[in-house]
A and B are shown apart, each in its own frame.
Chain A
Amino acid sequence: MSDTPSNTITLTIDGREVSVPKGTTLLKAAKQVGKDVPHYCYHDGLSSPAQCRLCLVEVEGAPKPMPACVTQAMDGQVVSTESEAALDMREGVLEFYLVNHPLDCPICDMSGECNLQDYVHAEGRDHGRSREPKRIFGRDDFGGDVLYYGDRCVMCTRCVRFMREVEQDGRLTVVERGNRSVIDTFFDRGLEGTQFSGNVVDLCPVGALVSKDFLYKARAWDLDHTPSICPSCSQGCNIELHTRDNLVQRLKPRENLEVNAFWMCDHGRLNYEWINHGDRLEAPLVREGDTVRAMGWKEALTALLQRLGDAAEKGVKVVASPLAPNEDLAALKALVEDLGGGEIVFRMPRAEDEIVLKGFPTMARRRDLAPNGRGAELLGMRRVGEDDGTGGLEGVSGHDGVVIVLGDALADQGPDFAAGSALLVYLGTHSGPAAAAADFVLPVTTFAEQEGTFTNHEGRVQRFWPALSAPGAARPAWLVLGALFAERTQSDSIRKADDAFARLVATHGAFAGLTYDDIGTRGALVSDTVPLSGD
């Protein structure tokens, strides 16, 4: 074990004793006593050049102030992060930053979540002394989604190191030297074609690198942050949804060293507009002859229950979606089994290649471009169709019993889909061919509007939380399906997502032992870790 006494050292930071494993840096040790020493160049996911000199602290007996980010804690050391000397040095560094900083906070996208603002506010001089004209670099389009405002840059080189060390495509560099240094690409050969460069925007501690997609879109302090899981592939990167006005404004990666470290890919990052898409199903719709009538949930479900039993006698065939959380899929499975059982298939687009993040190869934009294909398979659902996510539904379409479609809008299918079925039920978010053909259209929520879990490619079950309020009468599918099941079986209906999850755990061995609590924000592996078939 790493915690044997000889591997632990004890030191004093700001008058408080703290024990840390050998090799811990002063920056991390200070964090343990609740002091976040200002730092720019240091980042957990990158090498440490110790060049910004912002994290200087005083170490008793050392002739010079020491950079906390690379100085290893020693037994018996007495460290002060707040002594007069330490504060003086850091105040100096902060004043130096401001000599040429444009302080254009009113039009800076970083404003409100900017380390420079925070640090200067906390530890800077109350007025700057520079009266000199400022150096001007201007703005540069780096290609991809990235814009560079050179004047705001604090030269921490995080972005350069990310491209070199993590994406391992050295497209960024420091050009020139001294105070003429500036970050740049190779002339007009920018970041186009890179797959992870969006991360440099997150890494940038100031507003020097900003996202074109997010430019001037929202002020940081107006955004709500909700922990979530990226829905764009089976990697299951941990992310945050940043929302305002009930719309997703941007996605940001959330740290999880087991899955995505601090990163996410550009494909996932920019693939969120569909969540905001206006064309939503907002009320249950029931076909009555040639007309379609919107009605309340109670009325709709009652009507559906009346027809469901009889129609199911000719069998049930189901199309599910790998975008649906485990809870929805489990509720679907339970209902189908209660109706006498039937095959559940799903379709999932598959990319040609994996795009591996070279510096953190645990992470890749996986070939399966949906978050929960693994969950569906663990529930016994079968993948069908082509790599572009179409086809494979001939059997379902020709079925004459009950056809249930969950979450798959059937964009590739014609108006005669399952025309011969006794009953076509569609639980979905958006209108489309499936909604047009269905006898019952039941509006459900997107992952962003509900609580739930996805199971990623390696069998890690990860939670996400509701970030948006659902439109109209849309409800989580597990709630709708659970209500139908409860009515049919005369059992208690499920009211909470974790109950839905508990029911999944109770009925599916692979998930045995998992609870929302122990999944937490980090995820937990299912016990069955057979690789995804067909991969």
Chain B
Amino acid sequence: MAYPYVSDREVRVLSKYFGDPMQRRVDTYVERGGYQALKKAFEMGQDAVIDEVKASGLRGRGGAGFPAGLKWSFMPKQPTKPHYLLCNADESEPGTFKDRELLRWDPHQVIEGVLIASYAIRAKQAYIYCRGEFFETTQILAKALEDAYEKGYVGKDIMGSGNDIDITVHVGGGAYICGEETGLMNSLEGRRGQPRVKPPFPAAVGAFGMPSTVNNVETLSAVPHIVTHGGQWYRQWGTEKSPGTKLFCVSGHVNKPGNYELPLGFPLMDLINDVCGGMKDGKALKAVIPGGSSVPILDAQECADCNLDYEGVQTAGSMLGCASVIVMDEDTDIVKQVRRMVQFYAHESCGQCTPCREGSAWMLQILKRIEEGRGTEEDLQTMLDMSRQMTGTTICVLSDSVGAPVVSSINKFKDEYLALIRRGERVGVA
């Protein structure tokens, strides 16, 4: 088919049918083996499914990398109340564009993953929380869901197994913070999408006050494959602690940006130079944000031998996050891009926590002032202090995300700040 983002180094498990419109049809999906994993899961029983996913070592793909099987095992085994599975399709982290592709190219894969996860955690109702901007994507997903309902893969007595699972696609109203799992639950309940204080954790008190599990689209998309082939099979890719394949969303200054499914642990420089066809216009690499805008920036040197698994990126000084690799070439204005990211967080802060609400907006004011050449060297220290006071002090980690690009850029690209600041001083004197 015709999906342009292909490289022979890819291992296309989840993205196998990207670019093939027929995959959206339930018949095609079933012809190609679809919904067999679900059937198998029903035969295995809940605990065996959880064990298999545990064995695979599958880690959450929404950013935090929490082991999926372990998360499921926190749910009560003897339900006394309704349980909910919430599929997180609020994808809004700058640099991340994998969930939309999964939803629009292979919606049944997502639905099957949602069904298996719901079954495993003993939920009879699942919600797929799509960000509101995904009009086109939700239409495709909706059609797939309708078809699945009609064929008896969703709803009452699925495939004659006696299991009932309903799925509802819920669309958001435009707020990044609803991707945070407790913000998502509040938003689903018709509230302002403000994250909740934990504890209590979702497995105890989640959506509608009931035990709930939140998983990312990509996490759930991997589940049918793991159930079909077994946990050990999944471990043939990746590293001991980061097994499996991952969709890498590459954007920025490369020749072939796009989604590439690669084994975890893939070398960052190979991704840029080989898979993505090298730097655009042959420019030199300046910096990479390896996991979406919420993680620290790596400079070219740190990128040199960085492997893209959770531990590898941490060793290099950042985080894998959702593997959204933003590549910046030598001409990039770091201060401007940091300002743009902070602007995003200031815009998206839900506003509950004082450090995040006031800090993000103040940080933006300072960065704008520096950009305009009216900064001072003390501003840098102020921003470092603020970042420290905004990290680990709030209800969710959005506040920490403001500090990540700021601190890493001041540490690694201080001369760019100083150049702006000093030019400003000269302008002031003249």
Contacts and interface: CB of A to CB of B under 8 A. Distances in A.
The reply to whether chain A is a binding partner of chain B is yes
Interface of A: 49-54, 56, 63-65, 67, 70, 88-89, 91-93, 95-97, 99-100, 129-132, 135, 154-155, 174, 176-181
A60 to B, nearest CB: 15
B362 A178 contact: no
Contacts of B349: 177-179
* A-B CB proximity, top 10 nearest: A92-B389, A96-B358, A179-B361, A51-B352, A64-B392, A181-B351, A132-B365, A178-B349, A178-B351, A50-B197
B163 interface: no
B392 to A, nearest CB: 4
Given A51-B353, A129-B382, A132-B369, A177 B393 contact: no
Contacts of B257: none
Given A96-B357, A135-B361, 13 more contacts: A52-B353, A63-B392, A64-B393, A67-B197, A89-B393, A92-B355, A95-B389, A100-B358, A129-B378, A132-B369, A177-B175, A179-B346, A179-B361
A509 B352 CA distance: 56
A314 to B, nearest CB: 73
Contact of B351 (A63, A91, A177): A177
Among B347, B355, B357, B388, the most chain A Cβ lie within 10 Å of the Cβ of: B357
Contacts of B378: 129
Contacts of B352: 49, 51, 155
Among B352, B390, B394, the most chain A Cβ lie within 10 Å of the Cβ of: B352
A174 B192 contact: yes
Interface in B342-371: 346-355, 357-362, 365-366, 369
B386 interface: yes
A528 to B, nearest CB: 45
Nearest to A101: B358
Contacts of A100: 358
A50 B390 CA distance: 15
B157 interface: no
Among A49, A54, A96, the most chain B Cβ lie within 10 Å of the Cβ of: A96
Given A130-B362, A177-B175, A179-B346, A93 B354 contact: yes
27 contacts: A50-B395, A51-B395, A52-B354, A53-B393, A64-B392, A64-B393, A65-B393, A67-B197, A70-B197, A91-B389, A92-B355, A92-B393, A93-B354, A93-B355, A96-B355, A96-B386, A96-B389, A99-B361, A99-B362, A132-B366, A135-B361, A155-B351, A155-B357, A178-B347, A178-B348, A178-B349, A179-B360
A155 B354 contact: yes
Interface in B386-417: 386, 388-390, 392-395
B333 interface: no
Interface string B40-75: 000000000000000000000000000000000000
B360 to A, nearest CB: 7
Contacts of A131: 369
A88 B354 CA distance: 14
The prevalent SS among residues of B at the interface is helix
Contacts of B348: 178
Contact of B362 (A96, A155, A180): A96
A223 B361 CA distance: 38
A131 B365 CA distance: 9
Given A88-B389, A132-B369, A97 B362 contact: no
B189 interface: no
A179 B197 contact: no
B355 A53 contact: yes
Contact of A174 (B351, B388, B393): B351
B305 interface: no
B425 interface: no
Among A92, A135, A174, the most chain B Cβ lie within 10 Å of the Cβ of: A92
Interface in B84-107: none
The prevalent SS among residues of A at the interface is loop
Contact of A132 (B360, B362, B390, B392): B362
Given A92-B386, A97-B358, A178 B346 contact: yes
Contacts of A99: 358, 361-362
Contacts of B395: 50-51, 53
Contacts of B346: 178-179
A49 B395 CA distance: 10
A54 B357 CA distance: 13
A89 B386 CA distance: 10
B318 to A, nearest CB: 19
A50 B352 CA distance: 9
Contacts of A52: 353-354
A49 B351 contact: no
Contacts of B372: none
B410 to A, nearest CB: 16
Among B192, B352, B354, the most chain A Cβ lie within 10 Å of the Cβ of: B354
Contacts of B354: 51-54, 93, 96-97, 154-155
A51 B351 CA distance: 9
A53 B394 contact: yes
Contacts of A70: 197
Contact of A179 (B357, B366, B390): B357
Among B175, B360, B361, the most chain A Cβ lie within 10 Å of the Cβ of: B361
B197 A96 contact: no
B46 to A, nearest CB: 32
B385 interface: yes
Given A63-B392, A99-B358, A129-B382, A178 B350 contact: yes
A56 B354 CA distance: 12
A181 B353 CA distance: 11
Contacts of A95: 389
A228 B389 CA distance: 44
Contacts of A50: 197, 395
A96 B359 contact: yes
Given A49-B197, A53-B353, A93-B354, A178 B361 contact: yes
Interface in B174-212: 175, 192, 197
A438 B34 CA distance: 100
A89 B392 CA distance: 10
B407 to A, nearest CB: 15
A92 B354 CA distance: 9
A521 to B, nearest CB: 34
B389 A93 contact: yes
Contacts of B355: 53, 92-93, 96
A176 to B, nearest CB: 8
A65 B353 CA distance: 14
Contact of A181 (B357, B366, B385, B392): B357
A52 B393 CA distance: 10
A100 B390 CA distance: 17
Nearest to A157: B352
Interface in B112-156: none
Contacts of A92: 355, 359, 385-386, 388-390, 393
A91 B355 CA distance: 11
Contacts of B192: 174, 177
B388 to A, nearest CB: 8
Nearest to A125: B385
Contacts of B393: 53, 56, 64-65, 89, 92-93
A179 B402 CA distance: 14
Nearest to A100: B358
Contact of A65 (B175, B382, B386, B392): B392
Nearest to A48: B197
A54 B175 CA distance: 26
Nearest to B391: A64
Among A53, A91, A180, the most chain B Cβ lie within 10 Å of the Cβ of: A53
Given A53-B353, A70-B197, A179 B358 contact: yes
Contacts of A181: 351, 357
B276 to A, nearest CB: 34
Nearest to A40: B354
B387 to A, nearest CB: 10
A206 B338 CA distance: 34
A380 B417 CA distance: 85
